[in-house]
Structure 1
Amino acid sequence: MMAEPTEIQSILGLDVSRDTVTLCDGRRHTVTVANEADALRAALLPYQGTATLAVCEATGGYEDILLGVLLELAIPAHRADPAKVKAYIASFGKRAKNDPIDARWLSRYGRDRATTLPRWQPADPTQQKLELLVARRLDLVAMRVQEQNRLKAPRSRLIADNIRDHLAELERHIEALNAEIDTLVGESRDLALRAQQLRSVPGVGPVLAPLLLAVIPELGTLNRRQVASLAGVAPHPKDSGKANWHRSTTGGRRQIRPALFIAALAACRGDNPLAVAYKALLKAAKPKRVALTAIMRKIITIANARVRDAVRHQNEIGKINA
């Protein structure tokens, strides 16, 4: 694979849809090609070896073929957050939207932020499979909750048997996914090490550990503020002039916070340092909600530190053995 040029000279905006990809190299001219490897390879070949950065949006998987071709041609790429691109366009007061316009905006977005945009790297196949399995499990658990609520509804008597059959089927699928997730983690030395460290944190059980591995793969490489922010438990200031409002915990990756809340409840009921810290916060007249949020933050920061130390130790042993 060729090294990325030290200085990016042109930005290639690529608007991806299910069937097509529209390219814009910074000028007004755009071209649309089929979202297929051969067509994309032919369109992108002229940019191979040039100081070009390709920018596309995350589209739920439709961009995978494009990113694979860019990797093959050694063209550095950035997969942008659609919300950030949308906010960037809105900052100019523009509303018009179609594929060529979006491609031009992506090119401009990349041009303005080229030095700060992280370069896309292909995901590890095991990590990618874990993310898909965990995401599917979350979907099925949400369906189970919906069906359980329907079963409790006063008018559900006529369809109760159908709902129970569906619940039983969902339970079977969830158990099968749990087994597949456990097998996948156990077969990977790195994931097994991380999972072991996560399970050593009070409140972190067999459901939260793989969820953290899947949703926050950066765990162990972040500082305590970064990991708390990703988990949605970092207090953000909301001050203006002389007004000082209560700091609230917002943002983060939405799947983590509900699971951390359950973990905090479990930890606070046990016999461990987190339970002691929770009682100390209540004794200091902190509201239960605030105290639980503090414990959630402690859980994720402790988990991050333990994974970091374990990976570091493993790497040191690997160097010694080499």
Structure 2
Amino acid sequence: MMAEPAEIQCVLGLDVSRDTVTLCDGRRHTVTVANEADALRAALQPYQGTTTLAVCGATGGYEDILLGVLLELAIPAHRADPAKVKAYIKSFGKRAKNDPIDARWLSRYGRDRAATLPRWQPVDLTQQKLELLVARRLDLVAMRVQEQNRLKAPRSRLIADNIRDHLAELERHIEALNAEIDTLVGESRDLALRAEQLRSVPGIGPVLVPLLLAVMPELGTLNRRQVASLAGVAPHPKDSGKASWHRSTTGGRRQIRPALFIAALAACRGDNPLAVAYKALLKAAKPKRVALTAIMRKIITIANARVRDAVRHQNEIGQINA
């Protein structure tokens, strides 16, 4: 069982690198072990069954072995946002950095914020696979754009055939990923239900559906303000004293905003309530970029509401049948 935040007595700071993990339990002493399951299990075994919280940074996958061992030992863990930890350290005016120092700061960060830090939970294997496939597709699409731009360059005639061959190869890989993503979504009852609801929203097409499923799995569990903020389309105030500036949309998950912008353009050109709302905003003398941002926000909030209602209805049917 995982300990409640109020019960935490010890916070482990775990600085993860490719080959090693440096551990600090709140005291000055630190220990470094290999980033391997057996070594981590031996180092963490003494904390099993105690009121301990482990805090590690997100390192792009190098922390996966550590998190698996912590789950096996039933030690609650928090995977910290590196930007938040860096801001926390910076607030103390500190600049020194190495693995033991980082481990101590992670431990202190966990002690100060234990009550509010969300506990890490393992991702469903299907969801994890979808995230990897969608991320790889985004990478290949970015490569395709780069190669298309190179093909248009005035000095690319000598290598034009090579670029075209690479573009054709990228197209094959993208189509293969599209097929694999469609198959994966179709085989999962939950993902298929969510995808069906997303497709019903004006502007959301076959590219944005898997992107939202992969990058925003929280859809359907958030309120309208939270989902708008997560998508990076929530207006944030910028006021000070008598000065009041235009609100701006910042933050959120960076992959979502560009795709929502394209979705908003598509919705505004169609025959649907969002197009009517867009025209009403323009008629009210709103700048086009402001009106489009408002439509982006409407798209994600409608998607969130439809997914929420569909999942809730499915759960109710499941309870009745049970």
Q: Would you say the 8 A contact 2:6–2:115 is kept in 1?
A: no
Distance change (3 Å), C-alpha of 1:80 and 1:12: same
Tell me, yes or no, if the aligned pair for 1:278 and 1:295 is still in contact at 8 Å: yes
Specify whether residues 279 and 2 from structure 1 end up closer, same or farther in structure 2 by C-alpha distance, changes over 3 A only: closer
Gaps of 5+ in 2: none
What residue in structure 2 maps to residue 13 of structure 1?
13
SS, match of residue 5 in structure 2: coil
CA RMSD of aligned residues (A): 0.9
Tell me, in whole angstroms, the C-alpha distance in 1 between the residues paired with 2:152 and 2:6: 62
CA distance in 1, matches of 2:78, 2:5: 15
- Relative distance call for 1:301 and 1:161 in structure 2 (3 A) is same
Closer/same/farther in 2, CA of residues 111 and 274 from structure 1, 3 Å limit? same
Tell me how far 1:99 sits from its aligned partner.
0.4
SS in 2 for 1:251: coil
**Secondary structure of the corresponding residue to residue 11 of structure 1:** strand
Secondary structure of residue in 2 paired with 1:155: coil
Secondary structure, counterpart of 2:2 in structure 1: coil
Q: CA deviation at 1:6?
A: 5.4
TM-score between the two structures when normalised by the length of structure 1? 0.99
CA apart distance, 1:4: 5.3
* Total equivalences in the alignment: 322
Change (3 A) 1:9 1:2: closer
* Deviations 1:92-119 (CA, angstroms, capped at 9, x unpaired): 0000000000000000000000000000
In structure 1, how many angstroms separate the alpha carbons of the residues matched to 2:288 and 2:164? Answer: 36
Say which SS state the counterpart of residue 12 (structure 2) adopts: strand
Partner of 2:273: 273
Contact 2:5–2:115 (CA<8 Å) still a contact in 1? Answer: no
Aligned counterparts of 1:3 and 1:312: Cα–Cα separation in 2: 29
Deviations 1:101-149 (A, max 9, x none): 0000000000000000000000000000000000000000000000000
For residues 219-245 of structure 1, the C-alpha deviation after alignment (integer angstroms, 9 at most, x for no partner) is: 000000000001110000000000000
Hey, what does 1:235 align to over in structure 2?
A: 235
User: What does 1:184-263 correspond to in 2, within 5 Å?
Assistant: 184-263=184-263
Q: Structure 1: how far apart are the matches of 2:204 and 2:123? A: 25
Contact between 1:5 and 1:51, CA under 8 Å: does it hold in 2? no
Task: Please list every run of at least 4 consecutive aligned residues from structure 1 whose deviation after the TM superposition is greater than 6 angstroms.
Answer: none
In structure 1, what is the equivalent of residue 39 of structure 2?
A: 39
Q: Does the C-alpha gap of structure 1 residues 246 and 119 become closer, same or farther in structure 2, counting only changes over 3 Å?
A: same
TM-score (normalised: structure 2)? 0.99
Q: Deviations over 1:48-68 (max 9, x none)?
A: 000000000000000000000
Over the matched positions of the two proteins, sequence identity in percent amounts to 95
For residues 33-92 of structure 1, the C-alpha deviation after alignment (integer angstroms, 9 at most, x for no partner) is 000000000000000000000000000000000000000000000000000000000000
User: Contact 2:3–2:52 at 8 Å: present in 1 too?
Assistant: no
The Cα shift of 1:2 comes to 5.9
Per the alignment, residue 97 of structure 1 pairs with 97
